[in-house]
A and B are shown apart, each in its own frame.
Chain A
Amino acid sequence: EDQVTQSPEALRLQEGESSSLNCSYTVSGLRGLFWYRQDPGKGPEFLFTLYSAGEEKEKERLKATLTKKESFLHITAPKPEDSATYLCAVVGSSNTGKLIFGQGTTLQVKP
């Protein structure tokens, strides 16, 4: 069964304090791993898609990386506006059409 586990559940950082969020996955035939950002009371906002191990993508202070078992979302010198819940999702070859989401990591960045 395809599964996604995100850690930690919650993370508090000081502004400028870099860190990483983890997404561990079990899926047969990974077809894509997705990162989303969700602000309170809003829908998830697409950030990145990673397709194969070794791939990396960057956007402003965020960098997503992928291995065969996990993905990391690195946040460099975060700002308070980076505070949000970050969701990871996967789609595998046995479950086409269906994204399997993790429960998310809630990030709080204090000034």
Chain B
Amino acid sequence: NAGVTQTPKFQVLKTGQSMTLQCAQDMNHNSMYWYRQDPGMGLRLIYYSASEGTTDKGEVPNGYNVSRLNKREFSLRLESAAPSQTSVYFCASSEYGPPYEQYFGPGTRLTVT
């Protein structure tokens, strides 16, 4: 089992460009999450999907959109990237929503210039 996979691993964008971060899990989990991790700020939830077909905003949703494509896949889209979105992005999944434990992917390091 690969667990949670994310693509790409690294990305550099120019301000105003768009991109989609991909996430897939093979654990048959119902819930999936997108976080960003910044120095001094810890991990912050961007969006989550409690189950296929549902999505909800987290703590820092502005500038992002998500799509729960199917049970396995949950993508994060930046429509018009800004330097403030420079961060490391993690996808996670859990069997059900909290307090079930979440399993994280390896992350995508995004730089917006």
What residues make up the interface of A, taking CB atoms closer than 8 Å to B? 31-32, 34, 36, 41-46, 49, 51, 87, 89, 91, 96-99, 101-104
The answer to whether B48 and A98 have CB atoms under 8 Å apart is yes
- Chain B: residues with Cβ within 8 Å of the partner, total of 24
Bound CA span A45–B104, Å = 7
Contact flag A103-B40 (CB < 8 Å), given A45-B104, A46-B102, A98-B58: yes
Query: Of A44, A102, A103, A104, which contacts B104 at CB under 8 A?
Result: A44
A-binding segment of B13-21, B67-75, B77-85, B93-101: B93-101
A101–B54 Cα distance when bound, in Å, is: 23
> In terms of DSSP, what is the predominant structure of the interface of chain B?
loop
State the total of A-B contacts with C-beta under 8 angstroms.
Answer: 58
Chain B residues with CB under 8 A of A103: 40-42
- Considering the chains assembled together, what is the distance between the CA atoms of A91 and B97 in angstroms? 10
Nearest A residue to B98, CB-CB: A91
What mask results when residues 31 to 58 of chain B are scored 1 for a CB within 8 Å of chain A, else 0? 0000000001111110010100000101
A99 & B98 in contact (Cβ 8 Å cutoff): yes
Q: Which of A51, A87, A89, A98 contacts B59 (CB 8 A)?
A: A98
Residue of A nearest to B109 (CB): A41
What residues on A are CB-neighbors of B92 within 8 Å? 43
- Give chain A residues whose Cβ lies under 8 Å from the Cβ of B50: 97
Q: Say yes or no: B42 contacts A96, CB within 8 Å.
A: no
Q: Give the residue name and chain of the A residue nearest to B48 (CB).
A: A97
CB neighbours (8 Å) of A96 from chain B are 97-98
A-B contact pairs, 16 of them (CB 8 A): A32-B98, A34-B99, A43-B4, A43-B104, A45-B104, A46-B101, A51-B99, A89-B43, A96-B97, A97-B97, A99-B45, A101-B43, A101-B44, A103-B40, A103-B41, A103-B42
